[in-house]
Amino acid sequence: MKDTKTHILDVAEDLIQRVGLNAMSYKHISDAVGIRKASIHHHFPKKDNLIDALLERCHVTYGGHYRAIVEGPGTVPKKLRQLAGVFEDGLEKQKLCLVGAISSDLNTLQDNSCSILEETIQRTVDIFAMAFKQGREDGTLSFAGTIADTAYAFFTFLLGTQIAARAHGGVESFRRATEAIISCWEK
């Protein structure tokens, strides 16, 4: 059985991915977890503390998953498709990427949360850049510009395409769009 703090984080992440950061409240979490709001405040005194913990956990869980894909076997185009598949899986579950969901409410975040969000995005782009570096070095990808800029473009493409496909076209549109982009780089 998971501890209360982990359960709170799991429920909060699910709610943010499905309804958005500012639509999620401690009341929603307390109802889903089956505890009083005061118990949530014990672990996370302010919503900002909860957001910070979620972003830090996001880097560990999703960052670790992205890194395993990039460092794993297969061609680089296959790895890019696997990275896109993480976002596609979220779309199938009607859940946006946590970083994307939180980013959409950037103007309501405290400075510390903004810094953690920016760092989480940079770390993710750095992981994606490892794939583009591999692809440039082994000749399986061809792209103009820097590795870092291309990795950032791919990450933000996945975020935006996931959001747009949720509203229009669904998984099939997401899949076609990601294939169109990856095939442009594939040699």
CATH number at residue 165: 1.10.357.10
pTM of the model: 0.95
Residue 13 lies in a domain: no
Question: Tens of pLDDT along 111-157?
Answer: 999 999 999 999 999 999 999 999 999 999 999 999 999 999 999 99
Range of the domain at 167: 48-185
Which residues does residue 186 pair with via DSSP β-bridges, in sequence order? 141
Question: Tens of pLDDT along 48-80?
Answer: 999 999 999 999 999 999 999 999 999 999 999
Residue 4 lies in a domain: no
- At 1 the pLDDT is 61
Residue 136 lies in a domain: yes
How many domains does one find in the chain? 1
Q: What is the mean pLDDT of residues 30-42?
A: 95
> What is the share, in percent, of the chain residues with pLDDT greater than 70?
99
CA distances to 58, 103, 144, 163, 173 from 66, in Å: 11, 19, 23, 20, 22
- At 112 the pLDDT is 96
- Tokens, residue 11: 């429920």
Residue 30 lies in a domain: no
Residue 26 lies in a domain: no
- At 12 the pLDDT is 97
Give the model's confidence band at 2: pLDDT under 50 very low, under 70 low, under 90 confident, else very high: confident
Residue 55 lies in a domain: yes
Residue 139 lies in a domain: yes
Residue 71 lies in a domain: yes
